[in-house]
Amino acid sequence: MNEQQAQQGTIRCSEAVRQLWDYLDNAVSPEDQERIEQHLSFCRRCCGELEFAKELRAFLASGAVEEIPPDVKDKLEGFVEEL
């Protein structure tokens, strides 16, 4: 970051990366959103961080469904029937 960027309120990479997930959640203020987008407009590495954050979120979401083993299912169904 050069001096001119600092004077314009541009954020550093560490600050941009720290807020990327909140940015994807639309959970940052309009001012922070503007600063992040300004940073992303010239920082290729943080654009990479952003793309990876999207992939990691999708990856996490894809792991949400886990098969229930048949024996566990039988046991829990038995529990429900006994209520």
Alpha carbon of 9 to those of 3, 23, 76: distances in Å?
10, 18, 57
Tokens 């229930």, residue located: 68
Cβ proximity to other proteins: between 8 and 72 the closer is 72
Distance CA 11, CA 2 (A): 11
Please say which residue, 42 or 52, places its beta carbon nearer to other proteins: 52
Site map for other proteins, 25-64, x if CB under 8 A? Answer: x-x-----------------x--xx-xxx-xxx-xxx-xx
The correct pick among 21, 33, 38, 40 for binding other proteins (CB under 8 A) is 21
